Structure 1
Amino acid sequence: MADVAILETRERVLAGILLTGAAYLLFSTQDASIKLLVAGMSVWQILFFRSITILTACAAIGGRHLYAETARSPIVWPMLLRSVFTLAAWLCYYNAARSLQLAELTTVYYAAPIIVTVLSVVMLGEKVPMLRWLAVAIGFAGVFVACDPAHLGLSVPVLLVLAAAFLWGVAIVLLRKTALAERSMIQLLLNNFYFLIFSAVPALLWWKMPGWSELLLLASVGALGGLAQYLLFEGMKRTPASIIAPLEYTSLLWAFALGFAIWGDVPRREVFFGAALIITAGLLIVGGEHFRKRL
């Protein structure tokens, strides 16, 4: 029986890793769509449309019963707190993006997985093996090499990105807590209901009537963002936050691939070296967990 329990736990964690990896692929595709939109539309309007799309999908799937169940959920207030941290991270990140190059922005922001790993110890009491710490360090080194940033210093934009990384780290740890307390559809509904409330007034103030191509992109942002959030919630139910954290580095690989496919961006040699380190970090996480569960 003990062997069966160990096997089930291992399979559960590996399933969580796969779900989370798929979520970050979808988030990267969503970000590419947002990059196409943001040139002529405010982030607030994009967030507003995304929230409406996801809430409409939730209503179609769960109906009034889902909304009634959500109103009685014990995570209504914890999800509000998490949504505030997530929104604050978004605002810091996109304000910093006006002043920093993408390489600089990405490198500083990817301090987030390290912050998540530290906070998972402090806030969740998780025990993080040395191999996992090593994977986090290797993953961050890979991002650093791939982006090849200049000496940034502690300018206001850099501080904003560091704040975004910290706020996102807190949001991920809080997500781990709420993920264990409630099913994913309710979390998805609450998360996007709060985003809708937060973004409604700014979206109306900076409103731009979208064309048909923009409407299609907005719909894709909603579909990709909703599915990505759902997969992330499901992954968090199965896997400790400190295991999930380094998987966020895979977003950089997808970002480079999408950049080449959409805008014809050709990665530099350093990108391939960094990608190799990032993949190594991910394999260390998966392989280390597989080996540990066999002991």
Structure 2
Amino acid sequence: MSAVTLDTGDRIFAGILLTGFAYFLFTVHDSMVKLLVAAIPVWQVLFFRSLTILTGCLIFGGRQICKEAWHSPVFRSMFLRSILMLAAWLCFYTAARELQLAELTTIYYAAPIIVTVLSILVLGEKVPLTRWAAVAIGFVGVFVACDPAKLGLSLPVLLVLSAACLWGLSIVLLRKIALQEKTIVQMVLNNGFSLLTAGLPLTLLWMTPSLSQVVLLAATGLVAGFAQFTLYEGMKRAPASVIAPFEYTALVWAFLLGFLIWGDVPRSEVFVGASMIVGAGLIIIAGERFRRRA
């Protein structure tokens, strides 16, 4: 077995670990957002989130990072991806006012299916049968856990489905861009665009937050910043179709946080669905180990 094969396998597993942690952080972030949007406009949450992340990037990168971002070869691609992500978050945050965290997460996880399909059409990735099986098992696990068919096609449900499609497109673009630019430069561009876009409607929708809400807004930005960093770094190390099924692990965290924060008690089906989701991830890991040995 060559050293190159070992290095490639190690990078893939590092990518899996980084993105898995990122999805945990995003679930924590979603819980914070659900608390905030009950009283604060969505645009204001998006603005403070981007402002906090951008401030952190400037502290670590200094003025030089602004020059690098302005002259980045992926400037235009990042602008497109930022618009897609902003639209996805706007749809998701708006729906968060009406749906439970578990329901939000369940419907939203049509995204890994979209990512896997687009990774073939856009990125030209070859997706083995084991990855397709993992995606299918994970998706069935989501339905078993929450049974989203009972929710109907209400406006909040359609908004979350729209968010899933937009997020899937942005993830595929992320994989394509991640290999061409440093993570911190991507974060500056992404949150810089979001800050400007969210700032315009905020002039009409501003609501003065309380001290506790200011603290929660800052904490939301910090968690989102770490989540973005680990996701971008993970995307540099593993193909999009490998990482996609691991997004389902956030469902487990969503049920746990839903119970701790809002007192939502999971049904027995939740544990069956969670087992299927974990099994989907294990299929991916086993498949990658087999490919390394081969």
Normalising by structure 2, we get a TM-score of: 0.95
> Contact 1:30/1:224 (CA < 8 Å) preserved in 2?
yes
Paired residue for 1:63? 62
Q: Could you say if the C-alpha distance between residues 271 and 121 of structure 1 is closer, same or farther in structure 2, counting changes exceeding 3 Å?
A: same
Aligned partner letter, 1:73? S
> Contact 1:28/1:254 (CA < 8 Å) preserved in 2?
yes
The CA distance in 2 between the partners of 1:231 and 1:176, in whole Å, is 13
The CA distance in 1 between the partners of 2:179 and 2:81, in whole Å, is 14
1:37: how far off?
Answer: 1.1
1:159: how far off?
Answer: 3.8
Deviates more, 1:264-273 or 1:133-142: 264-273
Deviates more, 1:101-110 or 1:117-126: 101-110
Summarize the alignment of residues 213-292 of structure 1 with structure 2, pairs less than 5 Å apart: 213-292=212-291
> Contact 1:135/1:246 (CA < 8 Å) preserved in 2?
yes
> Contact 2:134/2:245 (CA < 8 Å) preserved in 1?
yes
Summarize the alignment of residues 203-218 of structure 1 with structure 2, pairs less than 5 Å apart: 203-218=202-217
1:212: how far off?
Answer: 1.5
Summarize deviations over 1:149-191 as a string: whole Å, max 9, x none: 3445555554433322211111000000110100100001101
Q: Could you say if the C-alpha distance between residues 97 and 59 of structure 1 is closer, same or farther in structure 2, counting changes exceeding 3 Å?
A: closer
Q: Does 1:106 align with 2:100?
A: no
Q: Secondary structure at the match of 1:85?
A: helix
1:252: how far off?
Answer: 0.8
RMSD: 1.7
> Contact 1:184/1:230 (CA < 8 Å) preserved in 2?
yes
Paired residue for 1:191? 190
Aligned partner letter, 1:7? L
Aligned partner letter, 1:28? T
> Contact 1:108/1:161 (CA < 8 Å) preserved in 2?
yes
Paired residue for 1:168? 167
1:265: how far off?
Answer: 2.1
Normalising by structure 1, we get a TM-score of: 0.94
> Contact 1:146/1:271 (CA < 8 Å) preserved in 2?
yes
Aligned length: 294
1:263: how far off?
Answer: 2.4
Q: Can you give the 5+ residue segments of structure 2 that lack an aligned partner in the other structure?
A: none
Paired residue for 1:149? 148
Q: Can you give the 5+ residue segments of structure 1 that lack an aligned partner in the other structure?
A: none
Summarize deviations over 1:92-130 as a string: whole Å, max 9, x none: 334445565655543332111001000000000000000
1:262: how far off?
Answer: 2.1
The CA distance in 2 between the partners of 1:10 and 1:157, in whole Å, is 40
Deviates more, 1:18-27 or 1:146-155: 146-155
Paired residue for 2:127? 128
Q: Could you say if the C-alpha distance between residues 155 and 243 of structure 1 is closer, same or farther in structure 2, counting changes exceeding 3 Å?
A: same
> Contact 2:102/2:258 (CA < 8 Å) preserved in 1?
no
Q: Could you say if the C-alpha distance between residues 275 and 111 of structure 1 is closer, same or farther in structure 2, counting changes exceeding 3 Å?
A: same
Aligned partner letter, 1:119? L
Q: Secondary structure at the match of 2:148?
A: coil
Aligned partner letter, 2:232? F
Deviates more, 1:165-174 or 1:82-91: 82-91
> Contact 2:172/2:240 (CA < 8 Å) preserved in 1?
yes
Aligned partner letter, 2:55? T
Q: Could you say if the C-alpha distance between residues 103 and 224 of structure 1 is closer, same or farther in structure 2, counting changes exceeding 3 Å?
A: closer
1:86: how far off?
Answer: 1.1
The CA distance in 2 between the partners of 1:284 and 1:232, in whole Å, is 21
Summarize deviations over 1:71-108 as a string: whole Å, max 9, x none: 11101110000011112222333444556565554333
